[in-house]
Structure 1
Amino acid sequence: MSEIDTPESFQLMEFGVIFEATNHFSESNKVGQGGFGPVYKGTLPDGNEIAVKRLKARSSQGMAEFRNEVTLILRVLHVNLVRLLGCCIHGYDRLLVYEFLENSSLSSYIFNQTRSPLLNWEHRFDIMKGIAEGLCYLHNFTSPPILHRDLKPSNVLLGRDMIPKISDFGLAQMMETGTTEAAMETAVGTYGYMSEEYAKDNIMSQKSDVFSYGVVLLEILTGRRNHEYCIANPGDSLLDFVSLIFLCILKILKKIYILEFFKKVWRRWKDGTGLEVVDSSFHDDSFIEDQVLRSMKIGLSCVQQNMHDRPSTRTIVVMFENGPRSEILDPTRPNYNLTRADSSSSPVTVTDQSVTINEATLSCTDAR
C-alpha cells in the first residue's frame, strides 16, 4: 500500500477492528454480494457504522479492483459520490471500508413492488439529478477526468433523505487530460448499460457513461429492469419501453446473438402518450406530468446511437436545473445496426455469470 497516496482523512485500518465490527463477517451482517465479493455492515467501537467490501481472496481481478478503487476514489469528494474511509490488507483479504448508507441501493427500490412506492416522484427526480451531478463531477471537475464504466442502479446507493451516491469504482478509468475518448483493450461493464461503440469497438468516452446514465434514468421512470425484462420476454424488451437498443446477450443454440428490440417508449413519447409507460407506483401529489415527460426526453437523448448526439453531463445538469427554460433537442428514433457475433473470429465463452467475447467480459450480475 506504500504506493498509494492517502490523505489524512483516509485510514489504513487494522483487520481485527474490521473483523469485530462486522461480527466476524457474519451472515447476519451481510448486506450485499458484489461481483468480486460480499459487502458487510459493521459498527466501529466509536459507534460509527461502516460498509465493508471483502474482495475475493486469491483473485487477481479482485486485487486489481482494490488498487483501482483506492487510487481513484481518494481523488474525489462530492456529495453524490460514496466516500471511502479506509482499507486493509490482511493475508489474501483485501478490504474496502466505506461510509454506511442506510437506504441500500437504488435497485432495491425501483425494482421492488413493495419498496418502489417509497420513492415518490420528488425523490426520483432528485435522484436522477443527483446522479447526473456526481457523474458531471467525475467528467469535468477531476484532473484527469474519470470514467465510471459501470453505472447502474445497484451501483447507486441511497443515503439519508434518499440522497444518491455513485459507488463501485473498481472498473473506473482515468482519461488523459485533454482527451474525449480512448480505445480500451477490453470492454468491461454490465450488459444492458453499455453503449454500442464501447461494447462492439472498445471505444470508451464520457458519452459512454452518459449512455449508461440514460438507461438508469429510464429504469427509474419505468420501474423495469432492462436485461431481466429482455430475458423473460425475448423480442419484447425494456428497450421497447425506453426506445433504447442495448446489448442483451442470450445463449441460443450455443451461439451469441446481439438482438435489436422495438422502441415502444420512443414511439409513446413521440405520440404524446409517454406517461403510459411510467411506473404507476410513484403517482402521488409530487407527480408533475411535464417534469416526467421532460425527464423521459433527457433519458432518450442520452441513449442515442451516435455518441455525438448524446448530451454531455454538464448539459444534462443544466437541463435539470433550468427546467423548461433549457431547450432539449428531440431525440431521433433509435436505429441500431447490430450484427450477429461471428463465432469463427470471436471466441465465445458462456458461463452462468458472464459472457466473454474476444476476452471482453460483460458482467451478467446486477449486484456488485
Structure 2
Amino acid sequence: MNTLGLSLIMRMGCICTRESLNINGVKYNVKEHLGEGGFSTVNLVQSPRNKKLYAVKKIICHSIEDQKLALQEIEYYKKLKHPNIIELIDSTFKGSADIVVNITSEVYMVLPYYNRGTLHDYLGLKSLSKDYMSTKEILRIFLGICDGVKYLHNFKPEPLAHRDLKTSNVCLSDDMTPVIMDLGSMAPAKVQVCGSQDAQKLQDIAAERCSMPYRAPELFNVESYCVIDERTDIWSLGCILYAMCYFKSPFDIIYERGDSVALAVLSGNVTFPVEAPFPQDLHELILYILKINPSERPYIYSVTERAQTLSNRLDNIV
C-alpha cells in the first residue's frame, strides 16, 4: 500500500519532540513519531487546549492521482457516521502535487487515539500465552465489526466496500467495542469488469491496496468479464473471525513463510488445529463465510444472522 497502515497509530514509544502541527488553526504538539511507510507518517499528538491525545496521519502526494486518492479518503470519512467506524476529527491539505515538476502536496488527517490499540495488537498479546478468547467474546466483537460492514454495504446512494479489512484495521475502544479504520482502500462495492485491461487494472489496485492474507480470491485472479462486489469484504471477515480464534488469519503463516498466498487462497484449503477449544458451530461459520466462489459467498445480512443465532444459542446454555 502507498499509505501507512493505521495500526501504527496505536504503538506507544518513548520519542518526545517539541514539534507542533497547525491544522485549520488548531495547534497539536507532537508527542511521538510512531512510524512511516510508503509516503505516509503517523504521529501521536496532544492538544494543549484539552490535553487529549490524537493520531495525525500525514500523506505526501507526489502526483495529482495520489492527491485525489488521499482527498477521497477524507471524503469517505466525512460521509460515514457509525459507532463501529472511526471518525475523522479534522483534516486539511497543503500545496498541489505535480509529478512533472516534482512538487508534492501534504494531506493531514486528525483521528482518535485508541489506547487499547488494534485487534491485531490484542491478539498478538494473547497468542504469547495461548490465551484463547471465549466464543461469546469472539462473537460479540465480530458482530460489532459486522455492524460497521453492514453500514458500508448498505450505504446510499451507492454501496461501499472497505477492501482492506484485517485485524490491524480494527481498533478496540476502552470497552472493547471494535472500530473499523483506514479507509484508504475503500471504493464503490460493485465493479463491472469488461475485458482483460479492466481485469488487470483491478488486480493491480488490489495488489497495492488489499493486504494479501485477507484478500479475497477473486482479487488475486480477476476474470476478464465479471462483477466484483461487496463480498470481497465478507471473505476478509472470515479471515478476521479465524484470527480471533487462533490469533492469525489462516493465510498469515503462509505469507510469513514466503510461500504463495494466492495459491493457498485459491485452493480453498482452510484447516483448524486438532485441539480446538471452540465449538464446531464456530468453525462451520468460518467455512460458511470463506467460500472461494464469490457467488456462493453470503452477504453481510446472512453472516450477521448466523453469528447472532450462534451467540443467542450460547446465551441459552446454562
Is the counterpart of residue 308 in structure 1 residue 313 in structure 2?
A: no
The structure 1 residue matched to 2:73, chosen from 69, 73, 82, is 69
Q: CA deviation at 1:310?
A: 1.3
Shift of the 21–228 alpha-carbon distance from structure 1 to 2, 3 Å rule, reads same
Matched to 1:42, the amino acid is: V
Q: CA deviation at 1:48?
A: 2.9
Partner of 1:357: none
Shift of the 49–198 alpha-carbon distance from structure 1 to 2, 3 Å rule, reads same
Deviates more, 1:116-125 or 1:210-219: 116-125
Gaps of 5+ in 1: 1-12, 238-245, 250-257, 279-288, 327-368
The structure 2 residue matched to 1:148, chosen from 156, 162, 165, is 162
The secondary structure found in structure 1 opposite 2:253 is helix
Partner of 1:191: 212
Assess if the C-alpha contact under 8 Å between 2:238 and 2:289 holds in 1: yes
How many Å separate the matches in 2 of 1:32 and 1:120? 33
Shift of the 223–323 alpha-carbon distance from structure 1 to 2, 3 Å rule, reads same
Shift of the 210–228 alpha-carbon distance from structure 1 to 2, 3 Å rule, reads closer
The structure 2 residue matched to 1:106, chosen from 114, 119, 131, is 119
How many Å separate the matches in 1 of 2:228 and 2:153? 13
Shift of the 263–152 alpha-carbon distance from structure 1 to 2, 3 Å rule, reads closer
Q: CA deviation at 1:79?
A: 0.9
Matched to 1:40, the amino acid is: N
How many Å separate the matches in 2 of 1:264 and 1:324? 23
Partner of 1:332: none
Partner of 1:296: 283
How many Å separate the matches in 2 of 1:197 and 1:229? 21
Assess if the C-alpha contact under 8 Å between 1:248 and 1:259 holds in 2: yes
User: How high is the sequence identity, in percent, across the aligned residues?
Assistant: 21
Partner of 2:239: 215
Cα deviations by residue, 1:227-258 (Å, 9 ceiling, x for unpaired): 541145467x9xxxxxxxx5269xxxxxxxx8
The secondary structure found in structure 2 opposite 1:309 is coil
How many Å separate the matches in 2 of 1:182 and 1:65? 20
Partner of 1:129: 143
The secondary structure found in structure 2 opposite 1:29 is strand
Assess if the C-alpha contact under 8 Å between 1:85 and 1:98 holds in 2: yes
Q: TM-score, normalised by structure 1?
A: 0.63
Matched to 1:127, the amino acid is: I
Assess if the C-alpha contact under 8 Å between 1:123 and 1:162 holds in 2: no
Is the counterpart of residue 43 in structure 1 residue 46 in structure 2?
A: yes
How many Å separate the matches in 1 of 2:38 and 2:171? 16
Shift of the 205–309 alpha-carbon distance from structure 1 to 2, 3 Å rule, reads same
Assess if the C-alpha contact under 8 Å between 1:68 and 1:172 holds in 2: no
Assess if the C-alpha contact under 8 Å between 2:202 and 2:222 holds in 1: no
Is the counterpart of residue 15 in structure 1 residue 23 in structure 2?
A: yes
CA RMSD of aligned residues (A): 3.2
Shift of the 195–51 alpha-carbon distance from structure 1 to 2, 3 Å rule, reads same
Assess if the C-alpha contact under 8 Å between 2:202 and 2:219 holds in 1: no
How many Å separate the matches in 2 of 1:141 and 1:156? 20
The secondary structure found in structure 2 opposite 1:157 is strand
Matched to 1:109, the amino acid is: Y
Q: CA deviation at 1:42?
A: 1.7
Partner of 1:359: none
Partner of 1:224: 248
Equivalent residues in 2 for 1:227-266, closer than 5 Å = 227-233=251-257, 247=262, 260=267, 262-265=269-272
Shift of the 33–166 alpha-carbon distance from structure 1 to 2, 3 Å rule, reads farther
The structure 2 residue matched to 1:168, chosen from 156, 174, 182, is 182
Matched to 2:119, the amino acid is: L
Assess if the C-alpha contact under 8 Å between 1:15 and 1:89 holds in 2: no
Q: How many residues align?
A: 268
Gaps of 5+ in 2: 1-20, 96-104, 314-318
Q: TM-score, normalised by structure 2?
A: 0.72
How many Å separate the matches in 1 of 2:34 and 2:240? 22
Is the counterpart of residue 206 in structure 1 residue 230 in structure 2?
A: yes
Q: CA deviation at 1:294?
A: 2.6
